[in-house]
A and B are shown apart, each in its own frame.
Chain A
Amino acid sequence: MSLLSAHGLTRRFGGLVAVDDVSLEVFEGTILALIGPNGAGKSTLFNLLTAFDRPNAGTVVFDGRDLAGMPPHRVVRLGLARTFQNTQLFEEMTALENVLTGAHTQTRTGWARAALRLPGTGREERLAREEAQRLLRLVGLAEVAHVHASDLPHGTRRLLEVARALASRPRLLLLDEPAAGLNNAETEQLARVLRQLRDGGVTLVVVEHDMGLVMDVSDEIVVLNEGRKIAEGPPLLIQKDPAVIAAYLGEEQLDA
């Protein structure tokens, strides 16, 4: 079943058409990779899919709901979470606190309840902390739970952002270049986490440059070039697609 479907998405910046009439379907329980040369419109499309940006034309429907006009924080509530190409962590918080903040939609304590420490707030906090610890273990960051985000190395920061996004218990998780700047060991850890998530029922959309990772984990690939979708299909077909090879020629070889 299609969990997310985009129809005719177009986004113009002045005279530039960054995303040009793109449609795609993300099926439940799969990993879809969004690839394309630099400037192909991947990040713009990504922002449209997560309601961080508004299309000039076209619609995004998540789980039967049209996201038009919906603020991004409400989209998270529906079960659609994201990470950022430039990590947007809370630097002054520890890794654990970052993940706890990610559980905002899963917890309920408001100002009045917190101010008076009404019964139930302590229990909710304790459960949230246990869940946050579990997510840190899942991405392999249990050791640095109490380290400030600003003190974490680059690769660790990306994994932390994944854990924070997972804390909202998303049905669909969109990752913007999660492997950028990761070393081999970290990339392998990431691939393992992604598969584990998919097998656990989380649907994934990944914008990625690392072709090894893309071919390794994705069930379906959508290729963008100059704002247009030029191909889609399973990894084995995409590798042989003449249009894809032409778009990437001189950019990068598609051998996994």
Chain B
Amino acid sequence: MSRLRTALPAVAVAAAVLALPLFVHDRYLLKVLSYVGIDVVVVLGLALLFGFAGQISLGQAAFFGIGAYTSGVLVAVHGWPWVAGVAAAVAASAAAGALLALPVGRLRGHYLAMATLGFSEIALVAFTELKGLTGGTDGLSGIPYPALGPFAARTPGANYVLVWGVAAVAYVVAANVVALRPGRALRALHGSENGAQACGIDVGRTKVVAFSAAAGLAGLGGALYAHLVGFISPGSFTLELSILLVAMIALGGMGSLPGAVLGAVLLGMLPYLDAVVPGLPKSAVEVLQSWEADIYGLVLILVMLFMPRGIAGALRRLRRERGGER
């Protein structure tokens, strides 16, 4: 009973988010929000790996790309059903994450950042050069819309519901993980690896699982993206995306799932601000979009300087200070 009551606000939020297309018929806005929903799925994975376990990855774009190409190629070229393509995308990216973690799991901090960045660049070259598979710089087109048997998600509204439905499930799964034993193991890794070992936590294995889970969610996001847009090319899987994802975590706050979602929504909406601000002049939108990467960089710098624990951290401190005054 009490669990139902505590879950009620979350269920209400989820229902409101999913019901949005009933009231909003702006196709552009729904499309933008679908992209933001994909960002949320990907960033939830990074929240587990970086926000909770403290393992930075500048390689999430690579897993996003592996997911996108896996499902894109299997469904568009080999005629697999959409569900099978997405499942294969998750499996492939999760496996790639685990394989990457085996060697780089030994690294920490800057070294880990550099190694994952290197992996991202290798993947980018592979996407470009494996022309027979990926179409190279010309990209891969004709990726069909998501479809389950006779039901296909062809409209922006349907895609929106699909993406945010997946995001909601991913959120619940991530929230369950962090609330229980595996989540404590992740946070222990961040806190003190010696302490974690002294608690009987297999540090190496936990890192592999965390990398794999984060990569799997990135791959899931990539697969959703491929079928939503219908066309993918290496330009969508660059370091810029990886940095954007890290910026989303930094802005939202380490160790907080709501924070990660908030960071994804705020930064994900930024280049498409005109979708929610009707009167915004075209020139302002152009500036936002052409300076996108710089704005993210600036946000990252400002957050690190003035709010190093992000929005969630600032709120947490506020609450703790209030509690202390009692």
Partner-B contacts on A (CB < 8 A): 52, 71-74, 76-77, 81-84, 88-93, 97, 100-102, 104-105, 107-111, 114-117, 121, 124-125, 128, 148, 164-165, 167-168
B185 within 8 A of A: yes
Known: A88-B198, A92-B191, A168-B200. A114 touches B177 (CB 8 A): yes
Q: Would you call A93 and B202 a contact (CB within 8 A)?
A: no
Q: Would you call A114 and B201 a contact (CB within 8 A)?
A: no
Chain B interface SS verdict (over half): helix
Q: How far is the CB of A23 from chain B (nearest CB, A)?
A: 25
* Cβ-defined partner of A90 (8 Å) among B187, B200, B202: B187
Residues of A within 8 A of B199 (CB): 73, 76, 101-102, 104-105, 164, 167-168
Q: How far is the CA of A11 from the CA of B14 in the complex (A)?
A: 59
Q: List 18 interface pairs A-B (beta carbons < 8 Å), by A numbering.
A: A73-B197, A73-B203, A82-B198, A83-B198, A84-B198, A89-B192, A91-B191, A92-B190, A101-B184, A101-B185, A104-B201, A107-B181, A109-B180, A111-B177, A114-B179, A114-B180, A121-B180, A164-B198
Q: Would you call B183 and A114 a contact (CB within 8 A)?
A: yes
Known: A76-B200, A77-B200, A81-B198. A90 touches B191 (CB 8 A): yes
Residues of A within 8 A of B8 (CB): none
Q: Would you call B200 and A111 a contact (CB within 8 A)?
A: no
Residues of A within 8 A of B195 (CB): 84, 88-90, 164
Residues of A within 8 A of B179 (CB): 114
Instruction: Map CB proximity to A onto B157-200 as digits: 1 under 8 Å, 0 otherwise.
Output: 00000000000000001001101111111011011101111111
Known: A93-B184, A121-B180. A105 touches B200 (CB 8 A): yes
Residues of B within 8 A of A128 (CB): 181
* Cβ-defined partner of A73 (8 Å) among B173, B191, B202, B213: B202
Residue of B nearest to A99 (CB): B199
Interface size bucket, B side? 20 to 34
Partner-A contacts on B (CB < 8 A): 173, 176-177, 179-185, 187-188, 190-192, 194-203, 209, 213, 255, 320
Q: How far is the CA of A168 from the CA of B199 in the complex (A)?
A: 7
Q: Would you call B182 and A109 a contact (CB within 8 A)?
A: yes
Residues of A within 8 A of B197 (CB): 52, 71-73, 76
Given contacts A84-B194, A92-B187, 16 further A-B contacts (CB under 8 A): A52-B197, A73-B202, A73-B203, A77-B200, A88-B194, A90-B187, A90-B188, A90-B191, A101-B185, A101-B187, A101-B199, A114-B183, A115-B176, A116-B176, A165-B198, A167-B199
Q: How far is the CA of A205 from the CA of B209 in the complex (A)?
A: 34
